[in-house]
Structure 1
Amino acid sequence: MADRERVIAYRVAAHQFDRTTTDPARLRVFDLGLQDSERSAVPALAARLDVVPPLDDAFTLTWTVRGAPHRHRARDVPALAARLWPLGDADAVARMGRPPVTEGLRVLREVAAALRDVVTGPMTKGEASARLTPLVPPEVTGWCRSCGATHVLDPVFRLAVLPAGLRFDPDERGVVFVPLEDRREVPERAEGFGELITHYLGLHGPAGYAEVARYFDAPVRDVKAAWPDDLVPVSRKAWLPADRVAAFENPPEPEVVRLLPPLDPYLNARDRELLVPDAEHRKQVWRVLGRRGALLVDGEVLGTWQARTSGGRLDVTLAPFVALDLDMFAEEADRLARARGLAEARIG
């Protein structure tokens, strides 16, 4: 295999698109967390599991990586706050949306500690924000035109939720916070970020400092300083965990056809030029507005798709980049419909 072909084949296998795994907790995507924005988690699981079970209490939903809602194994969440804690003051300020502060870590710790004290039981985001705002430095608050009120800046609020020990109530339609069962104190420092680096490389590797930094919104120099010593270089600028090198050297042929949702973990790797070499096609796959899913054929992203519900049916519109037999996606559309609780699907 050529270098790019080998990387693609490795990643398809690492993402477990072969559907041989039956327990969702054993999916490697949960090592980093499964993003669940715009109902993206269920179709991502449908691409990897033969049957998608309900995501029960074994999984926790909260704001984590890049301030986005992710589902994590519940047992992983208590330690995750320290793993995702900013790596320095500049990192903290950047992740908070660059408010006019210099001691980013101290300010974030104050906000998270205050939020932890405020939310002692189920509480809506609006109520939590209203109670939190007068307790934090004014530099991290601002006037919100849509709310007609001054409150904590949204990036600051999102960044503070996990270290405050909060999760979402999955049974509520809006954002309702619930304290974690194993709630810990606000972290004093980052601990265990190297493990997240290893998880990223295991799923999205081989990769280097820049890709990992972009994924976690962290400074490259801090990522480099936290780089684990036991990683194996497979090229001048790319590493893998030692236990994944053999899988990279001899990956299976990536013979899969999938309808990947927008924000699928496969699409969240930060070397987009490798995944989709054509610049115009990249613009379609990673649209800023009106996100679309990706047509995955044997490891290659060969088009986009959109879906809407019509009664009990899922209508899937395909937009391939090259000539394709669209019927090859019929079974995947049916799987996606069932995972979303619909009776049938239609492609076109």
Structure 2
Amino acid sequence: MTDRARVLAYRVAAHQFDRGTADPAALRVFDLGVQDSERSAVPALAARLPEVPDLSAFTLTWSVRGAPHWHRPKSLPALAAALWPLSDADALARMNRPKVDAPLDVFRAVVEALKSVVDGPMTKGEASTRLTPLVPPEVTGWCRGCRATHVHDPIFRVAVLPAGLRFDPDAKTVTFVPIKGRRIPQRTRGFDGLVHDYLALHGPAGPSEVAAYFGAPVKDVKAVWPDDLVEVSRGKFLPADRVEAFENPPSPDVARLLPPLDPYLSARDRDLLVPDKAHQKEVWRILGRPGAIMMDGEILGIWRAKVSGKRLDVTLSPFAPLDVERFEEEAQRVARARGLESARIK
């Protein structure tokens, strides 16, 4: 088995594509959270579970990189502390601002103000209106779309979790709900645990991949890099309890239609996942993201779908000749995950 084949085999097993558990909470992807920016979470979980999952026991909020993720509810206080910026430079990076004086202080001011104004269920628009006059002016600006001055959206997003807010998933518009017992973190605590979680799922990898995933400066990640990791190849690490799984991964035998933003695609070493640069551009399009055709860990093409009545029409665009029959059942699963009755591969 080549080095690359070993990494892919390890990740297929780590992502639990074997559908060996029926309990969503037991999936390793929830250690980091499951992104749901484009209705991607349920199909992503269905690729790992025997049945379409019920997410009512999980909590949705803006967390990693300010993107919406589903999490185990009990993990949120620790996650808020672990994601607290590591430094002033990290705070600038997380807020996506070129220059702010005392960035950590400004970040805390925004979080404290957001916590104070959202004292019950509240829409994003109402929260933004209340928040804007309470924060430093350098984090606000005129928005053409809203025709109003408000806190820049990236800053708003990364402040939501440390302010102790979650979403009401049943609301038609973004609505925040305070998390019971919420407390603002005093400092970064537990980032090393997130490093372990990333490497367990997407390793072996190094500080640059971890930094890119969390949107933090590489310098800061290197400064807090855990010393209990095992370097399995030059500059690539794994948690010690995952080394044996890496050395002896089962041979993958899976065919999946991964949705856009599936956790498997969120690893930051894209050259390893998809070596061909032209194919990378297809898989990770910025606009109009497609799904990815995955067989035995290899990304073999992209797919798109269109709803036709109660049927999902799936169009496959493989990078090379493909055994389409292996994906017929997966197309049906994707349809069920989207609440449809059937699927047809075109």
Q: TM-score range by the shorter chain?
A: over 0.9
Kept after mapping to 2: 8 A contact 1:165/1:180: yes
Kept after mapping to 2: 8 A contact 1:260/1:296: yes
CA apart distance, 1:316: 0.6
Root mean square deviation of aligned Cα? 0.8
Which is further off, 335-344 or 243-252? 335-344
For residues 168 and 60 of structure 2, the distance between their equivalents in structure 1, rounded to whole angstroms, comes to 8
Kept after mapping to 2: 8 A contact 1:121/1:179: yes
CA apart distance, 1:102: 2.4
Give the one of 299, 302, 305 matched to 1:304.
302
CA apart distance, 1:99: 5.1
For residues 234 and 53 of structure 2, the distance between their equivalents in structure 1, rounded to whole angstroms, comes to 42
Partner deviation per Cα, 1:183-206 (whole Å, 9 max, x = no partner): 11x222100000000000000000
For residues 312 and 27 of structure 2, the distance between their equivalents in structure 1, rounded to whole angstroms, comes to 26
For residues 246 and 60 of structure 1, the distance between their equivalents in structure 2, rounded to whole angstroms, comes to 33
2:217 maps to 219
Kept after mapping to 1: 8 A contact 2:311/2:343: yes
2:55 maps to 55
Kept after mapping to 2: 8 A contact 1:99/1:139: no
Whether 2:130 is the aligned partner of 1:131: answer yes
Secondary structure of the 2:142 match is strand
Q: How does 1:199-348 map to 2 (within 5 A)?
A: 199-348=197-346
In structure 1, list runs of 5 or more residues that go unmatched: none
In structure 2, list runs of 5 or more residues that go unmatched: none
Using the aligned pairs only, state the percent identity: 71
For residues 99 and 294 of structure 2, the distance between their equivalents in structure 1, rounded to whole angstroms, comes to 43
Kept after mapping to 2: 8 A contact 1:30/1:71: yes
2:40 maps to 40
How many residue pairs were aligned? 346
Q: How does 1:105-144 map to 2 (within 5 A)?
A: 105-144=104-143
Which is further off, 219-228 or 272-281? 219-228
2:174 maps to 175
For residues 185 and 76 of structure 2, the distance between their equivalents in structure 1, rounded to whole angstroms, comes to 13
For residues 239 and 98 of structure 2, the distance between their equivalents in structure 1, rounded to whole angstroms, comes to 36
Which is further off, 127-136 or 334-343? 334-343
For residues 255 and 293 of structure 2, the distance between their equivalents in structure 1, rounded to whole angstroms, comes to 8
TM-score after normalising by structure 2: 0.99
Partner deviation per Cα, 1:132-154 (whole Å, 9 max, x = no partner): 00000000000000100000000
CA apart distance, 1:327: 2.0
Kept after mapping to 2: 8 A contact 1:90/1:102: no
For residues 312 and 46 of structure 2, the distance between their equivalents in structure 1, rounded to whole angstroms, comes to 14
CA apart distance, 1:226: 1.2
Code of the aligned partner of 1:154 = D
For residues 61 and 230 of structure 2, the distance between their equivalents in structure 1, rounded to whole angstroms, comes to 32
Secondary structure of the 1:189 match is coil
Kept after mapping to 1: 8 A contact 2:4/2:272: yes
1:7 maps to 7
Secondary structure of the 1:331 match is helix
Code of the aligned partner of 1:108 = F
Kept after mapping to 1: 8 A contact 2:205/2:238: yes
Kept after mapping to 2: 8 A contact 1:167/1:180: yes
Kept after mapping to 1: 8 A contact 2:20/2:49: yes
For residues 107 and 87 of structure 1, the distance between their equivalents in structure 2, rounded to whole angstroms, comes to 14
TM-score after normalising by structure 1: 0.98
Give the ranges of 4+ consecutive aligned residues of structure 1 lying more than 6 Å apart after TM superposition: none
Secondary structure of the 2:99 match is coil
Code of the aligned partner of 1:244 = R
1:69 maps to 68
For residues 199 and 173 of structure 1, the distance between their equivalents in structure 2, rounded to whole angstroms, comes to 33
Partner deviation per Cα, 1:72-96 (whole Å, 9 max, x = no partner): 1011011111100010001101211
